[in-house]
Structure formats: structure tokens, C-alpha cells
Structure 1
């Protein structure tokens, strides 16, 4: 008997199902069966839902309450974000979740109608590990929502006449952000002087064995605490270790008026900070071109480096990679950055933030874009690009004796995965890990973040 009723529909889909099935279908299906039996079904029961059907690569679930549908989706995704689930495939299994509410037609045990179709379309647009919901679900849930949501604008979906306003679930903790803001305001900033008389700003966060962070292309000891890229790893490391950070010459709180900005001087600056902080030997944490600086320092002072953690690194700068578009892209980046860096409306810096942290919220990306202007002048930015785009440490890497963790996101928009692979292949004692993410710097909202955090800590505890 057919009947019509109002329902909230949760659509779940396994990310990369077809690709993984081609690799090892029996193991994948076993893992999926456990996930649906031990995570999805109990969550649905706890939130008074009904599993309409389980598909090979997903599920369709009905709820009589919009808030229950949302809470169920959040509970499932939070559980799957755990880095150490006992039932996983060769890579973490991620689900996309989409929720919509509306009239459905019920026939026997199945449901049909626009609400089902729209939920499926919304699910397909969700980020891996994310939850995307229509505005109507938010409105129906009313004041009962405790989950943080962020606006994602109006989306047009295939087969749906009118654009639909959607929101996504923000899995970051607002209390943690406030704690980091307080740290940025109360940490003690100190200064040291390099051999060519440049004043460098440095600080220490946390207690325990020391770890030194290599300089990345731009930074700011205070503002980095508020950004979605560096704050997660900085706070995580400083909970267990004494993390030494410093701003490279020409940016942040270090001297901006400097005679020389060069790769060798960046390595000299690391030496000055090791000396000023009285660190005899420690692991180095490095991001992006900081990985090249860390490698060069490890070759110059192998006795001072116990291990290296390289995230989003590369061996050869963009202008030297040999691709037809690489040099043009490097020139375009340089021209874009220097020409529009100080604009009141940060359209160019917005584009850069979208490249570095596409998985962060729009609010966090905009904040990062605003902060960039306070980190460096356009003139120094151009000088930085002239160094970074022409880095080549190919000949140095075989001389690095320190054990190294090389981590890279598979869809990194700043430096592609092959650059991380090339880096790891050339290092004698490298361990390579990759993550299903488009981010260059991994924000907490990214499902890859718990995996990166786990891998970095597991590696460090071997060498600290």
C-alpha cells in the first residue's frame, strides 16, 4: 500500500568504492560489512531511524525527525574519523553524507520521491568524511541543533530545477580556537641575531624534549596560532614536547629590512635558533619548502638532527620542474602575489588560501587571507618566491642520515603528490605516508587530520 509522509532522508555513500573494489573486493566488502553493522546500524537505532536499504556502496536511511537525522550522520562520521578503527581497508574508508527533508512516497519498505533524490544529490557534493545538509533540514531542526554548521551557499544539482542552499558540519572545536587565541597573546617572544646581523623572532611552546620547526615561506608567531593550517599541528606537538618556532628573516616578527634572502641564509637562520635556544639535538618539523631547509640543515649538522618530519614538501622548486606550465605557473604566482598583496579586498590572497587550505571553512580561509598581509611585504614576498621557486636539493638528499617521515596529501593543490614521493624516494631513511585530502596544510575539519596527527606522534616518539 502506497502512502505519503514527511521524512528526513540520510544518504550515505562510500568514497572511492569502485577504485577500491578493483584492488581487493573481498577485504573491502568485509570491512564495509563491519562498518555498517558496528557503526551505522547502531547509530541509526540510537537516533530512531530506519535503514531503508543497504547498497554495496552506501545506504538510504529514513527519519521522522530532522535533528535525529543530523545527529545520526554526525555520530557516524565522528566515529569514522578515529585514526585507529579495527576494521579498515588498506586505506581509511570514508563516507559522504547528505541530508534533505520533504515528502516521500512509501511503498512496502521502500521510499521514493524528491526528498530521496535530493538527499542523494547533496550527498554526492559532500566532502569525504563530511556531512552536507539542505537549509530545510536546518530550519526543521530549529533550536535543538548543538552541532556547528557553516554556510556553503546555494548549489545547483543535476535534475533539480531550483538551486538549494546547503550547509556543512564543522567538526572543529570552538573552545580549542579560543584557547589558541589566548596562547598567541601570552607566549613570550624572544629574539636572536644571525651571523649577518639579522634579528630573528622565536618562541617556545610546551614542555618536554625539544622539537624545532623549520621556517616555511611566510609565518607569524602570533597569527599562526589562529590559522587553520599551522595551529592544529602546533598545539598538538606542544602538548607533549617543547616546540621551538621562529619566523624566517623578512617576514613575521623577524626583521623585514634585510640585505639577503637566500636558501643558504635560511639554513643559517636555523643554526642561529638552535644555538639561541640551546638545543643540542632534536627532531625538525617542516612544511612545504621548510622541508628543503630542514634537509640542508641535517646535512650541514647531522649531529644536531635526530629525525625529520616533512609535510607537503618537495625536492625541486616549481620553476625548475621541467613541465611546460611549471615555470609559467611560478611566474604567474609571483606576479599575482606581489601585484595584489596589499589590496583591501583580499581576492588574490583568498585564491592562495583556497589553494593551501581548500578544506578549511570559508571563514577560516578568509581569516588566513587577511593575516597574510600582516606577515610580509609584497617586495619581500617576491624575493621569497625567487628563492622558493628555484630550490633544488636533489644532490643533498642522499646525504641526509636522519630518519624521516614524509607526509603528503594526494590531491595537494600547492605541490602535487609526486613531489612528496620524489622527496621520499631520494632520502635514505624515509617513511612515506599519503592522505586522501586536497589540502597543503591539513586543518582539523579534514578527516585526514587525525591520521596525520597519529602518524607524526607515532614517528616522533621513536626518536625523541
Structure 2
């Protein structure tokens, strides 16, 4: 028996025992009809296979997590439209769980964490809903869904908590206004065109621009989409592409930090934001520090992940300067190329536990957001960022979250910001990933930051 990674769907009928007690033969006939007309076609249509069928439930394997989630949503939508009421009987409702993990085949059957996890998640789902694990959702990029974040939850038999996302019913599953977006353009610093958009419901939140984003492709990207979904479930998120990349103007002469600050201000103005919290990641932290120092009356609170005020060339460290030059060299020879030295080095530095789908998504983002020359220009500009001078001038709530073994932004840089900003809180995570990924321990940092910003917004 060879262990493999599998995407598993577990479905169970709500109150099946009571149905059978009331009308055993009739209930069984309705369940068979439902399985034949709704459930099995949805599974087969996503190239799945049901490997275990019980009277009141089933287990199915799919070639990818996205296929399992899509099948689950199709089944629940069919039931919500009336397919659950068959032959004049009582309406049938299902709970469905989807998990991605290790599976051990035994003939046509499967055992292991993937199966156990899907079964545990199914029990957490609401009637008519779907519960999806973080590892499954991370591989489901491209689905136009808005899950509700259930946070980290303990599943029986699992040594570590698992992030759970809920798709509760028809009102959360369609690609509604929050999943569709209109992309706008505003003139930023020096007249450069900056692409921006907004999504989600709730109080406003401005995400500072950072490297490797694309306002359109991010929705289809398994690296960025989970983060966007969780942010949009709690805030009306305004975000934009940095100058020099994405849908913003690429060939701009001035790539100074002050111009990036002016871009951020222009987007806030265009979105009609007056007072708002700021979320900043990576090099977006240097921009956010300068912005908050320049416009203190506008920023209510800030939260940082994996950030630094001083980039590599601003630290006075020969080793950091050598790293900067090495990274530029890798970009020049391997930008947007599968299997290139750059891609391997980037994955090891930025997201060492990335799934194949996430690595593929990153390559597509590279190709979409910049060509090789543009990628080098933006990275050269970032290497010169230094916003540390703004830190001491700040007087606002600030939460700094950081991975202890971040190879891109050293923990010492986060500690330096925390020392300079009065009252700043630093929370360290047992992680080596610079990028927030659902399968990594650092994923809990996103919840922590959103809670903080909501409390101080």
C-alpha cells in the first residue's frame, strides 16, 4: 500500500435515523433517487469517484481539492433548488465536508487523514452547507466562492487544529458582488496610473500595495485568493497594484518610496476613505509607515505581516547587500519559468511548504505582473526602501506579526519596528514562511490581525 495525497468529500444525510423511523422504505427510495440524480452526476462531472456508499452517506475521492469543493457546492445548490424533495416526501438535507491530506489505499477503499478529516468536517457543517479545511481550500484556487472563516478548530484524532471555512448555503456560494470586481485607475505620484479595486462587505480596510499582485489574476491565484476571501468576509477591502507591476503603470521613471506613499494616498482618496485601518505585508510595511507618519489623522490602526522598514540595501549589512544582488540575478535568468533556479530559490525562501498548485499560481502571477526587466526594476526599487525614520513619529495601535524563521524579512527587522513605535505589539509565529498560506502555522496570524484591526477601526 502506497500513501498518497487525496482530496476527499464526505456527505451525510441530516437526521437520517429519524427519516428511516418514520418511513423506512420510502426514505430509502428517496435517498437512492437523490444519489442517482444529484450526487453521483456532480461527482462524476468533476472526475471524482465514490469509493464508499452507505445508506445515509458516502465518501468520494477527487483529482484536486477544487473539484471536490465544486462538486460539494453543486450538490448543495441542487438540493436548495428543490431536488431534496423527492416523490412527495420530506425534504432531504446533507452536510458535506472536504479535506485534503494523506490517504492509504486498500483495494478500492481509502483510509487515513484525508478520509478522517473530511468526515470530521462534515459533522461541523450546517445542514445544506459545506465545511472545507484550510489545506483543501488552499488548492481550490479559481472558485468564485465566499466562504465564512470558522478559524482554527480541533478535530477529533488530529494532533493540531485545522482551519475550517464554511460555505453555508446559496447566499454565500454564488459569485456575487463581493466576488466580482470592477478595476479602477487613479493617477498616483507623478501622474502614474495606479490600478485599484475593492471587494467585501463591512468597515473599510486599506491593504498597502506589495510585490507580485495583479488585480485580476489574484482572484484565480491559490496563493492570494484565500487571503482575499477572509479579508473580504469582514471588511470592505481596498487594494491596488504597486507602480511598476500588475495593472498599474509599469514604465514609470520615479520608483522612490515617497512616490509609493503618494500612490497609496491617491487610492485612499479615490476610494473615498477618510479614516481607516491599514494592513501591510512585506515591503508594503515601509510604505505604510511613511504613509501613517505623513497622514496620521487618516489611519486608525495598522497590522503588519512579514514586514520590514529597511530593505536589504538600507541595512548597512554586506550579507544583505549580497542577497539583494543574488536575488536580482536569479530574477534575470528564471522569472516566470517552471523549474528555474529562481523559482526553486523563491519557493525555499518565501513559502517552503507551498503546494504544487501554489507554486504554479506564483509562476502565473510572475508572468502576469511584470516582464523580466520590469521585475528587476521593481525589485531594485524595493531594495532601497527605508521607512524606519517614520516609526518613532507614530502614535497609533500597531500589531506586528512575524514568522520566527522568515528568510525574506528577518525577525530582527520586525523587532526594530516594534522598538521604535510606542506601544507596538510583536507576535512571533513558529513558521519559516514569508507568505501567509492556509496550510502553514502562520495562517492564524491573518485572523489575529483582522481581529486587531476590527477592534481599532
Shorter-chain TM-score range: 0.5 to 0.7
**Aligned match for 1:459, one of 425, 429, 452:** 452
> How do 1:37-436 residues align onto structure 2 when only pairs under 5 Å count?
138-140=104-106, 142-144=108-110, 171-173=135-137, 178-179=143-144, 186-343=180-337, 346-436=340-430
Distance 1:260 1:180 in 2: 38
Distance 1:171 1:233 in 2: 13
Alpha-carbon distance change, 232 to 362 in structure 1, aligned in 2, over 3 angstroms: same
Match of 2:125 in 1: none
Aligned residues: 315
Range with greater deviation from structure 2 (342-351 or 362-371): 342-351
Distance 1:170 1:237 in 2: 15
Q: Deviations over 1:300-319 (max 9, x none)?
A: 10011111111001122112
Alpha-carbon distance change, 143 to 281 in structure 1, aligned in 2, over 3 angstroms: same
Normalising to structure 2: TM-score of the pair? 0.63
Match of 1:93 in 2: none
Alpha-carbon distance change, 195 to 457 in structure 1, aligned in 2, over 3 angstroms: closer
Kindly state the Cα deviation for residue 357 of structure 1 after the two structures are TM-superposed: 1.5
Kindly state the Cα deviation for residue 201 of structure 1 after the two structures are TM-superposed: 1.0
Kindly state the Cα deviation for residue 200 of structure 1 after the two structures are TM-superposed: 1.1
Q: Deviations over 1:224-274 (max 9, x none)?
A: 233344333321111111000111111101111222222111001001101
Counterpart contact for 1:147–1:170, Cα < 8 Å: no
Distance 2:209 2:282 in 1: 9
Counterpart contact for 2:140–2:222, Cα < 8 Å: no
Distance 1:146 1:231 in 2: 28
RMSD of the TM alignment (CA)? 2.9
Counterpart contact for 2:433–2:442, Cα < 8 Å: no
Q: Name stretches of at least 5 consecutive residues in structure 1 with no aligned partner.
A: 1-5, 9-66, 68-130, 150-168
Kindly state the Cα deviation for residue 185 of structure 1 after the two structures are TM-superposed: 7.8
Counterpart contact for 2:301–2:397, Cα < 8 Å: yes
Normalising to structure 1: TM-score of the pair? 0.62
Q: Name stretches of at least 5 consecutive residues in structure 2 with no aligned partner.
A: 4-51, 53-99, 116-132, 147-174
SS in 1 for 2:144: helix
